[in-house]
Chain A
């Protein structure tokens, strides 16, 4: 694939493994990728990625300190494709209960909640590992994926969007449904790390670039 017309911005707010995302996008054929905290760059790009690892509060604080909250919201309202990854996906929601209640970007209504711990330890939190996912939904970001795809997750909280249709993919931990992918219009949030999910992750990012 050759995405020479796309200009991708990866939001840099001080935390996160941004270079992995950068490399993965290049691998997918993206030609114009920048890591940036400049509101103008964010405004002008065709595809925006909000990466992130770490705590919700630290993430939101990072966005705030770098004056990125308004530019991201503005971008979201433009209708151009936006992808949040892991913490970046969680920050798209209204609020999170990690270390107390904290407000998010509120681009998708809902809350980030703790994955319940399992007393019998049939699973352990944080959930770390690869999940084989049977893709059944028709969203363009999952185009061409129908066989088993495998994605890498590492998280202790997950997204609970208010609207059920915002949950595109989920997997099971014990009796719990754990959200894997959310969306609303042009906005996507992947709880998994596509940049670390080998071939499936690269297919996912390629689909994002094709939006």
Chain B
């Protein structure tokens, strides 16, 4: 199947990161992040507080004075759909700065009645308007091609929207064009024009439409004549007209929601009676039936949906806080725009199957994974304010008095005194210790109480212990000795209700269900007992769910296949179990390099257990802590 190379085309970073202040990710083309994980748009917003707005208004007045006509001619072009932003700019220029704007609208693909009504109300508030409506046959054809081949139905529309006002400027000999905000600097992108009022118009004569050759378009039945209305006028004419394109957002503080209030009052603007699909807001981008598909394809290509874009700027504008933003993104970002689905398919003359093929061709592997529930994003926003960072646990497998190191739970090499290792990890900043007596279940006895009694004398982090625990009395002894949590495997398989009894008596929080899983076939694992010697014929996910139902408060998930290999965690296993339960999961077995921590956490676990990488000094606790700081926001 054909796949768009989204990473190359948009020059996207392969590691997804979210801004720590808003909800935008580094997948927005051209956005940059600073060393503190803050995006360029958030930093720009902060910068704006130090701007001298009085001075900038003076500059605006000077600009207006330079262009203002004395004979009643139009003196400024304001691109405007009748929405809140363009209407705000036009109204301010006309009524506050005494200009005579000619407003220019580029027709939506399929205008909504509300958009049309708003444009009319705007005109009725005292404005002259030119509506550019391109050839319907050509527009439909271009929309179809652009959806199929470029993965964005709006590309032709965007060209027209950008270039038609320039055409009008040149033809009416009006040299000033006033846009609203510079989206690149306000919402994240190219910062070249961040500190200047205007943008230079580039010579597009040599740049083929959409970067594709004229032959490409003629092959698909679109002629140069057809493309004419969407193109910039000849560069020579632009220069001769002294055309200047400025951003109102440079001169006046730009706040989309405030524009909405302004237009509600001054230009008869009405918001949508219900929220737009894919987001929560009602006041933006409501002129076109097909807006939703433009945003949805952006969600597919970049993992950034409409709610993300809306929430990001509203967080920067202090309209909502970040947690609210995250909740809104989680709720609305992935909503498919099904309201005008059939209309869209009819308009583009494509089938639903074709559209879904197009969607899948735009899904980059670095963003999406396919699961039994369909496609899902690999990286999602988490509430940073939570937080508990996924814990670092040192796992110490014991045999009698010795720390040992098995591989695949076999071959028990003696490493030394567990106490010495534990003390070292504590000094280095370990966050939990996990002692597992791996032969105890065979004898039905263990040395754990002794180990705990020694450990708690000088180690003040939580202790989880497991191995050979069979009864409430065993649990009571261990907890009283100073253990915080008890991990049970074999005894729980033999008598699942032991889980329930322990949870009732001592609380779920200390009942850790230990599952030692061996892969039996693709995406299927079986829990084993007796240190991997005995089969259970159960399914890992079913057993984990059952454990949760019975009151387990956490799952210690060890991959027997990966255990002791240092070859990385079994991320599919972690993912499958984390999806099956709501309680925390500790990933164990396979940690070999720093990146394994990130992979395990991204698979959904709440804690990572490390054994031989620590025991053999391959990686220190400090190194792993530092790595965590760098990769978890």
Interface residues of A (CB under 8 A from B): 15-20, 23-24, 27, 53-55, 58, 87, 117, 120-132, 152-156, 171-175, 193, 195-198, 201-202
Chain B residues whose CB sits within 8 angstroms of the CB of A197 once the complex forms: 460-461
Least CB distance, A50 to chain B, in whole angstroms: 16
| Cα distance, A197 to B459, chains bound together (Å) | 10
| Best-surrounded residue of A18, A117, A175, A201 (most CB of chain B within 10 A) | A175
Taking A24-B460, A174-B386 as known contacts, 15 extra A-B pairs with beta carbons closer than 8 A to each other, sorted by chain A number, are A16-B479, A16-B480, A20-B456, A20-B482, A23-B460, A53-B507, A117-B582, A124-B582, A125-B583, A129-B390, A130-B388, A173-B383, A196-B461, A197-B460, A201-B460
Say whether A129 contacts B582, CB under 8 Å.
no
A198: chain B residues within 8 A (beta carbon): 426, 429, 460-461
Residues of B357-406 at the interface with A, using a CB-CB cut-off of 8 Å, are: 380-383, 385-391
How far does the alpha carbon of A156 sit from the alpha carbon of B507 in the complex, in Å?
A: 10
Which residue numbers of B lie inside 8 Å of A, CB to CB?
A: 323-324, 326-327, 330, 380-383, 385-391, 426, 429, 431, 453, 456-458, 460-462, 479-485, 504-510, 553-554, 578, 582-584, 604, 606-607
Q: How close is B73's CB to chain A, nearest CB, in angstroms? A: 55
Closest to B512 in A: A128
B484–A175 contact, CB under 8 A?
Answer: no
Instruction: Report chain B residues within 8 Å CB of A201.
Output: 460
CA of A147 to CA of B98 in the docked complex: distance in angstroms?
A: 55
Closest to A196 in B: B462
| Most chain A CB neighbours (cut-off 10 Å) among B388, B390, B458 | B388
By a CB distance below 8 angstroms, the chain B residues around A27 are 458, 460
State in angstroms the CA–CA spacing of A193 and B463 once bound together.
12
Contact across chains for B606 and A55 when beta carbons are under 8 A apart = no
Q: Which of B385, B431, B457, B583 contacts A130 (CB 8 A)?
A: B431
Interface pair A152/B482, CB less than 8 Å apart: no
Closest to B606 in A: A124
Contact between chains at B391 and A19 (CB < 8 Å): no
Contacting residues, chain A, for B387 (C-beta < 8 A): 123, 131-132, 171-173
A-B contact pairs, 11 of them (CB 8 A): A19-B482, A23-B482, A58-B505, A87-B507, A122-B330, A123-B388, A128-B391, A130-B391, A152-B431, A171-B386, A174-B383
CB < 8 Å: which of B327, B431, B509 contacts A53? B509
Which residue on A lies nearest to B506, using beta carbons? A54
CB pair A195–B383 under 8 Å, yes or no, is no
| Min CB gap B516→A, angstroms | 20
Are B582 and A53 in contact (CB-based, < 8 A)? no
| Contacting residue for A128 out of B456, B506, B507, B509, CB 8 A | B509
Q: Which residue of B is nearest A12, CB measured? A: B480
Compute how far the CA of A14 lies from the CA of B343 in the bound complex, rounded to whole angstroms.
70
Residue of A nearest to B390 (CB): A129
User: Within the assembled complex, what's the spacing in Å between the Cα atoms of A123 and B426?
Assistant: 26
Closest to A153 in B: B388
A133 to chain B, nearest CB (A): 11
Contact partner of B388 (CB less than 8 A), chosen from A17, A18, A20, A129, is A129
Q: A128-B554, A193-B484 are in contact. Are A121 and B604 (CB under 8 A)?
A: yes
Provide the bound-state CA to CA distance between A198 and B463, in Å.
12
Q: Is A23 a contact of B457 with CB atoms below 8 Å?
A: yes
Sort A-B residue pairs by CB-CB distance and give the 7 closest, nearest first.
Answer: A129-B388, A172-B385, A54-B507, A20-B482, A19-B482, A124-B584, A175-B323
In the complex, the chain B residue whose C-beta lies closest to that of A173 is: B386
Question: How far, in angstroms, from A86 to B363 measured CA to CA in the complex?
Answer: 46
- Quick one: which of A20, A128, A175, A195 contacts B584, CB cutoff 8 A? A128
Residues of B within 8 A of A20 (CB): 456, 460, 482, 484
Contact of B386 among A17, A24, A152, A172 (CB under 8 A): A172
